[in-house]
Structure 1
Amino acid sequence: MERSPFRTYYLHPRFWPLWFGLGLLWLIAQLPYPLLLRMGRVAGWGLYQFGGERRTIARRNLELAFPQMSEAERTRLLKENFASMGIAFFEMAMSWWWAKPRLAKLAHVEGLEHLRQAQAEGQGVILMALHFTTLEIGASLLGQLHTIDGMYRQHNNPVFDFVQRRGRERHNPDATAVEREDVRTMLKVLRAGRAIWYAPDQDYGRRQSIFVPLFGIPAATVTATTKFARLGRARVIPFTQERLADGSGYRLVIHPPLENFPGESEEADCLRINQWIEQAVAQCPEQYLWSHRRYKTRPVGESKLYAPRTRKRKRSRNVRRE
C-alpha cells in the first residue's frame, strides 16, 4: 500500500476531540519511561475495575489454559495482565512518537542474524508473532533494525487510522502494509524476499481453520501459515518480545527458522504452531492478550465456553417483553 496521505477532511470539527486526546497523549508520552510504566499500571488497574466483559473473558481464558492454578494465583495473574494492558497504551504512544534513538535504547535483541541471513539469500520470511500486549512497541523496535512488512486492518476512525499508520511506517521507510484479506499481495511480498509480520494465534472462525489442541482444548487454528509458507516459498521464523521486569526495556528474540515446515499435513503444522504458542506464552503469561475470545468457535456438537455477550442478553430480554 502507498503511504497514507494527510487529508484536509481530517480537520473536520467532528475529529477535534480525537485530535485533542492524541495531542494530550503525545505530551504524556514525553515523560520518563519509569513514570510511564507506573502510569500504565494505574491505567490497567482502572481497566480491571471497569473492564467488565474484557475481565470476564480474560478470567475464563486463564481458567481454561491454567486449570492447575489456584483461584488466587489466577486472580493475581489476571491483575498483572490488566496492568500490562494499561502499560501497552503508553507503549503505543512511545512507539509512535518517541525519537528513534531514545526508543532504540530500550531494545535488547537476540537472533537478528536469522532475518539477515534470509534477506541475504533472497528468502521471504513469515515472521510468526503473537498477540502480546507488547506487540506495538516490539514491532517498532525490530522495525528500526530490519525492514518488516505488516498485516494491516484498517481502523474505523480515519483520523486514528492515519495517525496509527504514520506512527508505524516511520520505523520502516520502505515497508508495505498488507490488508489482512489481501492474500495475493502477501504472497507477492514473500516471493520478493521480504519479511512480513504475521500472528496465527487468534480465532478467525471455522471457514479458514481446523481444530487442534491449544492448552489442551480444541481451538480453531488458521491453516494460513502453512499455505503462505508453501505458496510464498517462505521460511517461518518465530518472533517474541517481552517487557523486562527490571524496567530496562524489552527483550526481542528472533528464533531460528522452523525446520521441515510446511510438514506432512496442515493439522501437524497447526499442532506444531500451537505447541510453540504454549511455550512462548508460558515465558510471560501476564503479557499475553487474554481478553480475546480464543475459543469462541467450537467443534460441532460442543458447548460454548463463554457466556453470551451482554448486548445479546439485553436483546433477548427485549424480545421476551414483546
Structure 2
Amino acid sequence: MDRPRFRAYFLHPRFWPLWLGIGLLWLVAQLPYPALLRMGRVLGALMYSLAVSRRQIAARNLELCFPELPKAERKRLLKENFASTGIAFFEMAISWWWPKKRLRKLAHIEGLEHLKRAQAEEQGVILMAVHFTTLEIGAALLGQQHTIDGMYREHDNPVFDYLQRNGRERHNLDATAVEREDVRGMLKLLRAGRAIWYAPDQDYGRKQSLFVPLFGIQAATVTATTKFARLGRALVLPFTQMRLADGSGYRLVVHPPLEDFPGESEEADCLRINQWVESVIRECPEQYLWAHRRFKTRPEGEPKLYRKRGA
C-alpha cells in the first residue's frame, strides 16, 4: 500500500469540525505525560457513565472470565478498565505527534534480540499480540526500534484515515500497511523476512475459526495464525505491552519464538494460543479491551451470552 498523502480535498468545509478537534487534541497532547494520564482517567470515568452498552459488554466479559472474583472487585476492575481506555485516547495522540526523542523515553523494551536475530536470518515473523488498550502506543514504541508491518483496515473518514496512517507509519519509514483481507500480500511479506503485528484474540465469526476454551468458555478462535506461520514459513513471537503503574512509561516484551509451531493440528495451536492469551490478560486485566464481544459466536445449540442491543 502506498504511503499516505495529503490531498486538497481534505480541506473541504465538511472536514473542518474534524480538523478543529484534531488541532485541540494536538495542543492537549503537548502537556506533560502525568497530566495526560490524569486527563485520561477523567475521560474514562465519563465514558463509564455514558457508554452504557459498552459498559454492559465489558461487565459481562469480566463476569464470564472472572466468576471467582467478588462482585465489588469486578466493578472496581471495570472502572479501572474504562480509566485505561480513556488514557488510551491520549496515548494515541502522543504516539502520533510527540517528537520521537520524547516518546522514546517512555519505552522499556525487552527481548528485542529475538526480532533482530530473525531479521539477520531473513526469517519472517508473526508478532503475536493481544488487544490491550495500550496497543497503539506499544506498536509505536516498538516501531522506533525495529520496523514492523501491520494489518490495516481503511477508515470511513478519509481525513482521519490519513492522520491515522501518517501517525502510525512515521515510526516505520519502510513499513507496509497490509489490508486485513490481503492474505496473499501478508504471506509475501513474511516470506521476504518481514515482521508483521497480528492479534488473534478477537471473535471474527464462525467461518475461519474453531471452538476452543478461553477462560473456560468455548470461544471462536481464528486459525489464521497457524496458516500464516506455515504458508509464510514464519516464526511466531509473542509480544506484550503494559502501562507501568508508576507512570514511568511502558514495558514491552518480545518473547522467544514459539517452539514446534505450527503443531500437530489447528485445534491444538488455537488452544495453545488461547492459553497464552489468557495468561497475559490475567497479568494485567484492567488494560485489556473488554468492550469487545469476545464470546459472541456460539457453538451450535448454545445460548447467547450477551444481551441483544438495546435490551
Aligned AA for 2:42?
V
CA distance in 2, matches of 1:103, 1:212: 39
Map of 2:261 onto structure 1: 261
What residue number does 2:114 align with?
114
Name 2:307's counterpart in structure 1: 307
In 2, the alpha carbon distance for the partners of 1:296 and 1:10 equals 37
Q: Aligned AA for 2:49?
A: Q
Secondary structure of the corresponding residue to residue 5 of structure 2: coil
1:135 aligns with 2:135: yes
CA offset at residue 24 of structure 1? 0.3
SS state at 2:39 partner: helix
Q: Deviations over 1:190-247 (max 9, x none)?
A: 0000000000000000001000000000000000000000000000000000000000
Output the CA distance in 2 between the equivalents of 1:146 and 1:10.
31
Aligned match of 2:126: 126
1:317: which partner in 2? none
Name the counterpart of 2:240: 240
1:225 equivalent in structure 2: 225
> How much has 1:4 moved relative to structure 2?
1.2
Displacement of 1:81 after TM fit? 0.1
Aligned residues: 311
Q: Are 2:298 and 1:278 equivalent residues in the alignment?
A: no
Gaps of 5+ in 1: 314-322
Match of 2:80 in 1: 80
Please give the alpha-carbon distance, in whole angstroms, between the structure 1 residues aligned to 2:249 and 2:6: 32
Task: Write the distance in 2 (CA, Å) between the matches of 1:129 and 1:158.
Answer: 27
TM-score (normalised: structure 1): 0.96
How far apart, in 2, do the equivalents of 1:11 and 1:204 lie?
Answer: 36
Deviation of 1:69 (Å)? 0.3
- Residue number in structure 2 paired with 1:35: 35
Counterpart residue identity of residue 173, structure 1 = L
In structure 1, the residue matched to 2:69 is 69
Residue 114 of structure 1 and its aligned partner are, at CA, apart by 0.4
Q: In the alignment, what sits opposite 1:173? A: 173
CA drift at 1:51: 1.1
Equivalent position of 2:297 in the other structure = 297
Q: Distance in 1 between matches of 2:23 and 2:43?
A: 18
SS in 1 for 2:21: helix
Q: For 1:55-109, what per-residue CA distance to the aligned partner results, in whole angstroms no more than 9, with x for missing partners?
A: 0000000000000001000000000000000000000000000000000000000
Q: Quote the residue 2:189 is aligned against.
A: 189
Structure 2 SS opposite 1:304: coil
Q: Could you tell me how far apart the structure 2 residues matched to 1:228 and 1:149 are?
A: 14
Q: CA deviation at 1:5?
A: 1.1
Question: 1:297, 1:278 → 2: CA distance?
Answer: 18
Question: What is the CA-CA distance between 1:35 and the residue it aligns to?
Answer: 0.2
Can you list the C-alpha shifts for 1:115-155, whole angstroms capped at 9, x where unaligned? 00000000000000010000000000000000000000111
Tell me which residue corresponds to 2:97.
97
**1:13 Cα deviation from its structure 2 partner:** 0.5
Name the structure 1 match of 2:209: 209
Structure 2: 5+ residue stretches without partners = none
**Given the two structures, how large is their TM-score scaled by the length of structure 2?**
1.00
Identical-residue share of aligned pairs (%): 78
SS at match of 2:196: strand
Structure 1 stretches of 4+ with a deviation exceeding 3 A read: none
Deviations 1:271-295 (A, max 9, x none): 0000000110011100000000000
Partner secondary structure for residue 290 of structure 1 = coil
Give the Cα–Cα distance (whole angstroms) in 1 for the partners of residues 284 and 62 of structure 2.
13
The residue that corresponds to 2:10 in the other structure is 10
Cα drift, residue 305 of structure 1: 0.1
- Which secondary structure does the structure 1 equivalent of 2:228 belong to? helix
One-letter amino acid matched to 1:165? R
C-alpha distance in structure 1 between counterparts of 2:4 and 2:104, whole Å: 24
Q: Secondary structure of 1:145's match?
A: coil
